[in-house]
Amino acid sequence: MLFLQSCCPFSSAILSTIPSFPMSSIKTARFLTSVLRHRAHEHGLAMATDGSVAVSDLLKLPRLACVTIDDIKTIVATCDKQRFALLTGDDGTLRIRANQGHSAALGVALDDDAMLTPITDAAAVPVAVHGTFSAALPAIRESGCLKRMGRRHVHFAPGLPSDGGVISGMRSKCDVWCFLDVPAVLAAGLKLFRSANGVILCADDVPLRFLRIESIN
């Protein structure tokens, strides 16, 4: 498949003030996130192993009855966290997928290599940090690892929220940072990937021995 377009960094707060991008479009973007990450099978959508669905099929959903292809393109192009990508299928049809964040139970066996970029060189990831909250620390320590929690991957940002260029992978209000020892993880055989919107993903639960945990409060 040919990759066409990812997203540009405009916040939903800004978009809601632009007449050409009403709040209804923000709600549509949230619905797309839910469908493409978690519920495609519940809506009867055929998802390919690269995580994409045909835009024409997506627009047949009752919730999207008033949405056009141009609306979808606008949502993709203005998503602040670059959640979506448009692709051209082998048959020439326009398709869309979520860049990351998929549930483990999606009704289809997704292919990480078709969706993501494998990371094999630790030098390519100088920083990978998972953000969480103090309230979650006891459960993390008790389990002995960062769990995928129903998702396909554990998510890491390629830097801290204050770093320029970090658009996704961590909530800005997190008060605990878990820094990943990327060389040790790769040496241990755990699989790491980078999504199209720059999020670092681990396909396994991450044992605490690979993490340096810092509380920032």
By residue range, what is the domain housing residue 32?
2-106
High-pLDDT (> 90) share of the chain, %: 70
Number of domains into which the chain is organized: 2
pLDDT computed for residue 183 by the predictor:
98
Gyration radius of the chain's alpha carbons: 18
75 and 120 together in one domain = no
99 and 141 together in one domain = no
Contact at 8 Å (CB) between 96 and 76?
A: yes
60 and 16 together in one domain = yes
Which string of DSSP letters, residue by residue, matches the chain? -EEEE------HHHHTTSTTS-HHHHHHHHHHHHIIIIITGGGT----TTSEEEHHHHTTSGGGTT--HHHHHHHHHH-TT--EEEEE-TTS-EEEEESS--BS-SSS---HHHHSEEE--GGG-S--EEEE-GGGHHHHHHHTEE--TTBSSEEEBSS-TTSTT--SSS-TT--EEEEE-HHHHHHTT--EEE-TTS-EEESS-EEGGGEEEEE--
95 and 126 together in one domain = no
pLDDT computed for residue 79 by the predictor:
85
Confidence of residue 161 (pLDDT cuts 50, 70, 90): confident
Q: Which of 49-58, 99-108, 151-160, 202-211 shows the lowest mean pLDDT across its residues?
A: 99-108
Residue 61 has pLDDT above 60, yes or no: yes
pLDDT computed for residue 133 by the predictor:
92
What pTM, to 2 d.p., does this model score?
0.82
Q: Which phi and psi (to 5°) does residue 213 adopt?
A: -100, 130
DSSP lists the bridge partners of residue 212 as 179
From 71, 88, 106, the end of a domain falls on 106
71 and 121 together in one domain = no
Residue 3 has pLDDT above 60, yes or no: no
96 and 51 together in one domain = yes
Please check whether residue 210 lies inside any domain of the structure: yes
The pair of three-digit structure tokens given for residue 65, joined into one six-digit string: 């009855």
6 and 99 together in one domain = yes
pLDDT computed for residue 159 by the predictor:
85
Please check whether residue 124 lies inside any domain of the structure: yes
Please check whether residue 111 lies inside any domain of the structure: no
From 106, 131, 156, the end of a domain falls on 106
pLDDT computed for residue 2 by the predictor:
47
14 and 91 together in one domain = yes
**Which of residues 184 and 109 earns the better pLDDT score?**
184
120 and 187 together in one domain = yes
Residue 8 has pLDDT above 70, yes or no: no
* Rounded average pLDDT over 167-186: 85
Confidence of residue 195 (pLDDT cuts 50, 70, 90): very high
**Which of residues 216 and 139 earns the better pLDDT score?**
139
Calculate ∠ Cα 171-107-120, nearest 5°: 55
- Helix 23-34 to helix 69-78 angle (10° resolution) is 90
125 and 200 together in one domain = yes
* Rounded average pLDDT over 163-184: 80
74 and 155 together in one domain = no
pLDDT computed for residue 168 by the predictor:
61
